[in-house]
Amino acid sequence: MAFDTQTIMDGIRYYKMNGAGNEIVMLDLRDQSVVVTPEAARAIAARSASFFDQLMVLLPPKTAGTAAFVEIWNNDGSRSGACGNGTRCIAAMELDRLGTDTVSFETEAGLLPTSRAGTGISVDMGVPKFGWADIPLSQPMPDTNAIELDYEGHGVRLSNPAVANMGNPHAVFWVDDPQIYDLSLIGPELEQHPLFPEKANISLAQIISPEAIRLRVWERGAGETRACGSAACAVAVSAARSGRTGRDVRIHLPGGALRLVWRDDDHVVMTGPWELEHAGSLPVTLFDASDHIEDVA
């Protein structure tokens, strides 16, 4: 399928993709006058053909050497600081368009260098943050590898999650079997727990071996998704930090597997698949042509 970001007769072109099952829509607005608002994001997600977990909006670069500044929207109209699976998708498209092997993007969370890796794409997701104020938490916690949080409801009990920030706040609960939990019930309550002033992505992680982890994720602003790249990063570093695994692991999610390497320079590199499903167009009336909104929800 040819890569074409031009406005077409009946609207703005979009690309529907997935990264290990994480549903992604890309809009390239680098040469467009329209902007995305929370209302537009929700309206795009409400259309069955363009439903997304995350919407990746390419805007003119702010930093020299980057291909674009990327806004990331959740399907509820809130903003996200990072999306590793979405970054792989837009990287694959941009690498093909440019005919190169490396390209960098910028998000609210910082720079994201990407590169080809066989049939997949690698993304340098940056350095994890473990300080309680960096997550952020609403109160000091001396040990962010096992914070004081006990949850009991809907017939289950979860306690002492690890927390980390990988562009987004994450809480990781270690469980024997992620499949036995109803994330549709416990996910929203934990996402909005008072300890997380900016809400949090909630992970249920099972250690399979020192090199493998099984994972389900409830994403803030999106609900349960088939994959979440930043959550996979948070789980990988939390597992290695607590001695549960090494620093090179494979994360098995409902949508597929991702390889996570926590390098000696502290950067986390994620490698995995991507897929272009179809291209389509969105009515220009969905968008706002007013001044661009910079605040992150």
Strand partners, 268: 262
Q: Summarize pLDDT for 198-209 with one digit per residue, the tens.
A: 999 999 999 999
Structure tokens, 90: 């837009």
Instruction: Based on the fold, state whether residues 171 and 98 are members of the same structural domain.
Output: no
Determine the distance from the C-alpha atom of residue 164 to the mean position of all C-alpha atoms in its chain, rounded to a whole number. Answer: 14
156 and 187 share a domain?
Answer: yes
pTM greater than 0.75 (yes/no): yes
Structural domain harbouring 241: 150-266
Whether 40 is covered by a domain: the verdict is yes
pLDDT at 251 over 90: yes
Residue 296 located in a structural domain: no
Query: In total, how many domains does the chain have?
Result: 2
Q: What gap in Å lies between CA 282 and CA 286, rounded to an integer?
A: 7
Q: Give residue 126's pLDDT.
A: 96
Q: Give dist(CA 82, CA 65) in Å, integer.
A: 19
233 part of the active site: no
- Same-domain check for residues 55 and 76: yes
Give domain status of residue 1, yes or no: no
Tell me, yes or no, whether 144 lies in a domain. Answer: no
Residue 143 lies inside a defined structural domain of this protein? no
pLDDT at 268 over 90: yes
- Distance, CA of 271 to CA of 282 (rounded, Å): 31
198 and 120 co-located in one domain: no
Type of residue numbered 125: M
Give yes or no: 89 in active site. Answer: no
Looking at residue 288, its pLDDT comes to 73
Among 228, 234, 260, 269, the one annotated catalytic = 228
Q: Evaluate whether residue 83 is within a structural domain.
A: yes
In this structure, are 32 and 99 located in the same domain?
yes
Q: Side chain identity at 18, as an amino acid letter?
A: N
184 plus 281 within the same structural domain: no
78 in any annotated domain: yes
Same domain for 196 and 162? yes
**Does residue 260 sit in the same domain as residue 159?**
yes
Tell me which residue of 186, 126, 195 sits closest to 157, measured CA to CA. Answer: 186
Same domain? For 92 and 158 the reply is no
Q: How confident is the model at residue 293 (pLDDT cuts 50, 70, 90)?
A: very low
Q: What is the mean pLDDT of residues 86-102?
A: 97
Can you give the pLDDT at residue 4?
Answer: 54
Q: DSSP letter at 50?
A: G
Q: Report phi then psi at 69, rounded to 5.
A: -95, 130
Q: Does residue 203 sit in the same domain as residue 239? A: yes
The pLDDT confidence band at residue 10, using thresholds 50, 70 and 90, is low
Same domain, 156 and 259: yes
Helix 229-241 to helix 84-98 angle (10° resolution) is 120
Co-location of 171 and 229 in the same domain: yes
The residues facing 251 across adjacent strands are 213, 258
The CATH number assigned to the domain holding 212 equals 3.10.310.10
When pLDDT is averaged across residues 157-177 and rounded to a whole number, the result is 97
For 91, the token pair is 């990287």
Of the listed 41, 59, 82, 83, which one is catalytic? 83
Supply 210's token pair. 């020192």
- The overall average pLDDT reported for the chain is 93
pLDDT category of residue 289 using cuts at 50, 70 and 90: low
| pLDDT reading at 95 higher than 60 | yes
Q: Per the domain annotation, does 136 fall within a domain?
A: no
Residue 294: per-residue pLDDT? 38
Across 171-177, average pLDDT: 98
Q: Is the pLDDT of residue 259 over 90?
A: yes
